[in-house]
Each structure stands twice: as C-alpha cells, then as structure tokens.
Structure 1
C-alpha cells in the first residue's frame, strides 16, 4: 500500500511539473506581429529564432491595418479597415477584446502614459479615445471644419504629454489633441495648412509633426516646441518642372527616416527620395531610385536607408548609403514587397511579400536571405521595440 501511495504521489508531481512547463515563459522584447491581410489574422513571430509562435484570427477586415503596442509590450491594438480595434495578447497568443467603433478606420496611436488608445476614422471621420485596459469609449472628437463639414482623419501620431496630432484631409487642417484628461480633451486647430494632407508623422523626440500634402507640392510642418509659430511649408515645389508619374500607391510618411543630420522622405509621383536637413528643413539632396518610393526606412544605426516601391516596381528593394547619398544595393526578394521592419539593433530586416505569401528575413550586413516563412498575404510588420518609441 505504501508503495502504491509513493507511485501516486510521484505521478501527481510529474503532472504538476508538466503543467508548470506549459506554456513556456518568455519575454516580449524580441517578438513581433505580422498582419495577414486577407485572412483577418496576425502572426506572432520571434526575431531570435526567425519563427512563427502563434496565429490569432477573427480580427475583421485587415486590408489596410496597423497596430500599436501597449506600454509593457504584452498587448497589441490592431486597427482594421472595418473600424474594429482588436486587443491581442501576444504572449498568450489570443484575442482578449474587440470593439467596432467606426465604419471605416485606417489606424491609431497610444498615449505616452499607455492609458489611452486613439483611433482615426475615415467614416464617420473624427478621433475616438478608448481605455487601453477595457476598450471602453472615453471621448469622441468629430473632425469638422469651420463650416461644420466633416473630414477624414489621417496621420494620427502620439506626442509627449498624452497629446496626439492628426490631419483633416478635406479641410486641410492639423489638430493637436490634449488628452491628459480624456473626457475633457482640448483641441488646438491649425487651419489652411495645405490641400489634402494624406498622411502624417511625428519625429521620434515628438518635436516635429509633418503632414504630406496630396494637393500641393511640399509638406506641412508643426514645431511642437514652438507651437505659437504655427504650421509652415517645407520642401515647397519639389515636383515643379518634373513630369510626375501616375500614383499607384501613396507613399507612407510613417516610413520616413532621420539618419544623421538628414531626413529622408518619399516623393509623390517621382522616382526620388527627398533629403532634407533635419533642423532647417531645407532640401539637401535627391536620390534617384528604381520606382515611386513607399517606405523610406533607416537602419537603427542610421548608416543606410532601405526603400521599397509602388506597383509596378514593388518586387524591388534598394539600399541607400547615407554618407554618399547613392544606391549601393538592389534586391529582388519577392513579389509585392509591401512592408519592411528592422530588428531592434538592425542585424536583420523583415520584408512582407504579399503575392508570394511569405516573409523574407535578410541579413543587413551581407544582404543574404536568412530565412523565408509562410504567411497569408502579409502586409504590416511591427516589432515590439516600438512599445518604447514615440510616433510609432
């Protein structure tokens, strides 16, 4: 009888140990999330092992989707085209909350203290603020011009002090939203900044907010250290006297770069990367490239800038050497390279090849492919180092 009791106790201990071993403990600092646009799902991937860890589905229409990380990098908030916000636990690999908050949405941001998730909407327009823990609605800020007409909201970016900046497409305005007290938010409006701002970005220190202008040559810049100076035009007339090409895909200003003393930005309708001095914002150079740039992204070291392109050149990626302002490498990693993302220290870059249903991991030192992973129509790639960065 005693022997049977000892065997039972040993079996119970083994079961307990097995239960403790699953799931394996891991940190979130080396993880990433990949949008699978056609499937309405995301993959959770590991930078260290270059593998997929989990797939989370049921996230709605992800045909134009983006996401932001929670402050602790455990959760991501996925913004879908259908107006849905999905909160995903990337360590557990599961969906924990989801709300449908608009008819058509294209992205969002999270406040500097991590308490507030903000969504920017095409339809019905405006910005909504949500509690990051529960996704309960905190505030609804309509985007109306001075005549009461609604506008699509684009270019939503977080700023220091629980503020957000965004642009109104039809109205041609930039607004700064102070959400420190979200249920009593305050808005500062900058009118007549240019025609049809189509996207916007914030510098990593939060000082500058820049809106790209679809209806005008140039960009609109707000210096948040000197907001009383208002919005000024930078790189005016960069397309004058040049035959612009048909625009098959709008450049993404979120894919711009600051590298050393320069800012690298995609030009609308031109086969060029624009280079500006990142303090005076005067044009410093132009780099001829293979096609119309979409993302212009610097390696974490700032030494090189990688560029992908709109159709029909979207099978190509080029690498610009910053000191010489010359293209030093042209790669053909797959069909429809939509997005790029560097690992935290830049040893590798991950590319999404939508039409080949794969992810491509490239060594940035050798330009050799480390690995290819299957993915269902992948688009955006977002690594967890973004959790500690503004404007991401």
Structure 2
C-alpha cells in the first residue's frame, strides 16, 4: 500500500491509529490560526505543537481536523482534558506538564474558532490524498476465515476508533483494526458482501475487504463529511460534505474521484451543506438532501441517464419554449421544497420519500416520480426518519419512526400518510430496529434520564411488551438482528461497554462481549438485502 510518512502530532483532539498523507491544501496557513490580534499566544502554540499533525490550516492530516464542525460532539471542556492528559488508545499525549491551564484553555478556544471562509477541497486534493493497495485485485476471492461471510457484524467502537468484525453465529470476534477518526453514518456494503465502505467525520472514505481483512483503498473526499452512499450497481460512492459544500462521486473500485458537484441553489449564489445522501436502488440514483437550501436532488448514476432539464426558457431566435439541460449522468434533478430537509426515509418501492427538518414538527412526503411534495404529516418534536423501519400491519404497509425530541414512536400508514398511533416511550430515542422474521421491534431511549432502557414493541398490537435495563445508568442503544432474526445485538454505549446478545423471542441475555463504546453494529446480510427492520 502506498503511503507517505509524517511526524506524530503533539496536541489537541483524538488521533486515529492509522497514518495518512499530508494534504496539499493544508500547506496554506489559516488566518484564524495566525491571527495577530490574539493576545493569548494560542496561534503560536498551535503552530509549534499541533500543525505537524493536524495541518497548518487545521484541516487535518495524520490527526483529525480541528474545526468546530468536526469537534462539536466533543465539547470544549472535554477538549481541554484531552489536551492536558491525552487520549487512551491513541497517539495523543498529554501536555499538562508543559502547558499552563491558561494555555490549554486558549488552545481549546482556538480549535473551536470557525474558519474565516469556507475552505475548498478540489479533485486534485482528493486525488493527492488517495491511498490504494495495488495488490488488492490479487487477493483471494474467498474468506480467510470459516465464519458465514453474510452473517458477519461490523461493529464500530467509537471509544477508541476501532472496528471489530464479529462472527454472527458464534458471537466471537474475528478481527479488530483501527479506523479513521470518528466514523460517521452507517457503513455501506457491496452487493456480494465482500467490501465495506466507511466514512469518517474528517471526510476520509475507507474501502475494506471483509474476505481478506485488509484495507483496499482510502481517499479524503472532504474536510467534514456527513455520510456516504454506495450505488446499487457497486460502481460509485457518493460523499455528502458539510465542508466544503459539495457532493463528491468516486469510483468504488479504487476511490478515484470522478466528480465534485458544488451544492448551490439554482442561481449559483447560495451554497449549502449536504444533510444526507442515500442510494435509491430501483431508480439508479442518489437522493441528496441539502441542509441550507430548500431543495432535494436526484443524481442519476445510470450510463443511459437522460439529460436533466432544470427549467424552461423562451428562445427569441426560434420562438420555441426550450429546456435548459444539464448532463444526464451525475446531473442534479432539483425538487423544490418549502424548507430544507435534515433526514429522510424511502417507502419500499422508492416512489415516495418522507423527510423532516430540524425544527419542523412535521414530516413531508415527496413523490419522486412527479418531483414535488404531496402531503405533510404532523409529528411533534423531531422524527428521526433515517432510523425508521417498515412492516405490514393489518394488510397495510406502515412505517415507524423514533423521535429525537419527544418520548414517542409514530406509526404511519404509507397509503394515506396518516398517523395510526403514537406510542409513548420513556424518552426520546435514536434507533429503531426489527427484522422480517420477528414480531417485535426494539426501540432505545437514547436521550434523557432513561437512556439505560430498551423497549420491545409488538408489531401487531403496537404495544410495548417488555422494557430491558441491563446496566442501570448506562446508555443502552442500537439493536441489530442476525441474518435469520433469531438474535438481537445491542450496544452498552460506554467506554467500558459491551455488545450484549439477546434471544429475539425470549428477550433473555445470551452473551456479553466487552467493547469500547460500541456505537453501531451492522449485519452484512440484512444490509445488502434491505431487511425491513434495518436502516438502508
């Protein structure tokens, strides 16, 4: 594997366990770092201790980017602790023995200072970052282990930035390896289950060979990334960026960048962060939600995609009304909305999309074929539609969604878009999971004082039939089923956490595997077959 070595960093947040190339755009000093008006010396401290690893411009290198967008979940006080005392299981040392309390506070303030302008990240920057294993094509086309390759779980351990590959039959780890800093959004799997693609908050995309337990390719698609999607034909990866404001298309074979699409409005004047990108399998397209512009985009990846018409204009030369066309493949079809969307969910045939905004109190239904909203659904709080699931209830297709602000689950009729029932829970939840071979759905209570419980809901009666609390006071979240639906794996979401295996029929604990803050678990079979009970 090609790589270039750079010096170990000396300060600031978390460090990943793998090294990466120093990137061209990071050679340009950031005015926010070199602000001469600063009287606390933070700029000089940063350049002396941090820049060799986190980049002169704070855009990252061997260590993660030190920007408010990248560190939002960390918090300034925790950042100060990391600067002072280091971070376990990383290359981050502590500096309490050489920096004063005031200096540490000043550095924490500096890394939470926004950049003076939105940084750019070009095709050339992406290509310069790319690391490709030239020998990947010669690797064996069968697993190097005896476990069922379709019943593997990919477990993201966010506490120390590692990934564990878990045998879903024996519930034993097969392999554990360091990941990029703060993997963000669910991993995506190739159709045969051999490859998994990860996206990190720092914009790194990693292609990993599950058969041979090795990294095939990496590339940095942006500076701050929201999530990634893999096309249904396995040819393309789409990366949704917060920084810069862009959608990036890469070749899934080697992560070579193919196109950077600036996410701007029709006039090209206002730009937007990308809230989310997902693959719409039957449509042969990526669906893209923009966080700052009230538009939904459909970006086709089909070779035979017809030109996208973005409007009609009158031609004074011909007297005809003519369409203004954009290139078909990777062209953006724009759907106007009343407000930007933060998250969304497809119905089973991918004709409709349910979307929600940050403070909406409702969901909007968009008909993708006709290209416009057709209904709204009143849902108090903030539905987390990306974690929704579907099943058939009394002969009708229904969708259920947790709520990030309200202690409830909403059950929605997907024929008339009415709310069938609102199930009261012990608090706001983040994840909802089920499986076609079980009558139950598992819903966590991620936020608030009851974060240590998991509700089990009967999908027929729409009632809570059990509430589990394995470790009082500790966060208990994110259920995922085995490929046959017989067992459920749930995270004890703590530094000294675990993956707890339950019998899906009796709700009895079967096994407990110690792990470091296991944030998500993803079953290969369920993901590639679009199980009714898991996110897509």
TM score, norm. by length of structure 1: 0.85
* Bigger Rg, which one: 2
Which residues of structure 1 form unaligned runs of 5+?
Answer: 1-21, 245-249
1:348 & 1:24 partners in 2: Cα distance? 22
1:104 equivalent in structure 2: 224
Kindly indicate whether residue 397 of structure 2 is the aligned counterpart of residue 258 of structure 1: no
2:490 & 2:500 partners in 1: Cα distance? 5
User: By percentage of residues, which structure has more strand?
Assistant: 1
1:16 equivalent in structure 2: none
Alignment partner for residue 250 of structure 2, among 130, 145, 162? 130
Are residues 293 and 26 of structure 1, via their aligned partners in 2, closer, same or farther at CA, if it must alter by over 3 Å?
closer
After TM superposition, give the deviation of residue 323 of structure 1 in Å: 2.1
1:340 & 1:122 partners in 2: Cα distance? 28
Aligned to 1:197, the other structure's residue is in SS state coil
1:389 & 1:298 partners in 2: Cα distance? 12
Q: How does 1:233-272 map to 2 (within 5 A)?
A: 233-236=375-378, 238-239=379-380, 252-260=384-392, 261=396, 262-272=398-408
2:120 equivalent in structure 1: none
The question of whether the paired residues in 2 share the 8 Å contact of 1:166 and 1:176 is answered with yes
The question of whether the paired residues in 1 share the 8 Å contact of 2:434 and 2:480 is answered with no
Alignment partner for residue 334 of structure 2, among 171, 189, 195? 189
The question of whether the paired residues in 2 share the 8 Å contact of 1:351 and 1:360 is answered with yes
Alignment partner for residue 351 of structure 2, among 193, 199, 207? 207
2:372 & 2:510 partners in 1: Cα distance? 47
The question of whether the paired residues in 2 share the 8 Å contact of 1:251 and 1:294 is answered with no
The question of whether the paired residues in 2 share the 8 Å contact of 1:259 and 1:298 is answered with no
Kindly indicate whether residue 170 of structure 2 is the aligned counterpart of residue 31 of structure 1: no
1:76 & 1:378 partners in 2: Cα distance? 18
After TM superposition, give the deviation of residue 113 of structure 1 in Å: 0.8
1:228 equivalent in structure 2: 370
Which residues of structure 2 form unaligned runs of 5+?
Answer: 1-142, 306-326
Kindly indicate whether residue 164 of structure 2 is the aligned counterpart of residue 43 of structure 1: yes
After TM superposition, give the deviation of residue 25 of structure 1 in Å: 4.8
Aligned to 2:528, the other structure's residue is in SS state helix
After TM superposition, give the deviation of residue 35 of structure 1 in Å: 0.7
Kindly indicate whether residue 464 of structure 2 is the aligned counterpart of residue 327 of structure 1: yes
After TM superposition, give the deviation of residue 112 of structure 1 in Å: 1.4
Alignment partner for residue 217 of structure 1, among 361, 372, 376? 361
The question of whether the paired residues in 2 share the 8 Å contact of 1:84 and 1:98 is answered with yes
The question of whether the paired residues in 2 share the 8 Å contact of 1:109 and 1:158 is answered with yes
2:523 & 2:175 partners in 1: Cα distance? 15
Aligned to 1:254, the other structure's residue is in SS state helix
After TM superposition, give the deviation of residue 108 of structure 1 in Å: 1.1
Kindly indicate whether residue 273 of structure 2 is the aligned counterpart of residue 152 of structure 1: yes
Alignment partner for residue 213 of structure 2, among 80, 93, 103? 93
Kindly indicate whether residue 508 of structure 2 is the aligned counterpart of residue 368 of structure 1: yes
The question of whether the paired residues in 2 share the 8 Å contact of 1:155 and 1:201 is answered with no
CA displacement 1:111-151 (0-9 Å, x = unmatched): 11111111111111221111111111111122112352221
After TM superposition, give the deviation of residue 53 of structure 1 in Å: 0.4
Are residues 252 and 44 of structure 1, via their aligned partners in 2, closer, same or farther at CA, if it must alter by over 3 Å?
farther
After TM superposition, give the deviation of residue 37 of structure 1 in Å: 1.3
May I ask how many residue pairs the two structures share in their alignment? 357
The question of whether the paired residues in 2 share the 8 Å contact of 1:67 and 1:78 is answered with yes
Are residues 200 and 383 of structure 1, via their aligned partners in 2, closer, same or farther at CA, if it must alter by over 3 Å?
same
2:189 & 2:517 partners in 1: Cα distance? 22
Kindly indicate whether residue 420 of structure 2 is the aligned counterpart of residue 284 of structure 1: yes
The question of whether the paired residues in 1 share the 8 Å contact of 2:158 and 2:518 is answered with yes
2:447 equivalent in structure 1: 311
2:501 & 2:348 partners in 1: Cα distance? 25
1:301 equivalent in structure 2: 437
TM score, norm. by length of structure 2: 0.63
1:387 equivalent in structure 2: 528
1:93 & 1:282 partners in 2: Cα distance? 46
Q: Highest relative contact order (Cα 8 Å, sep 6+), 1 or 2?
A: 1
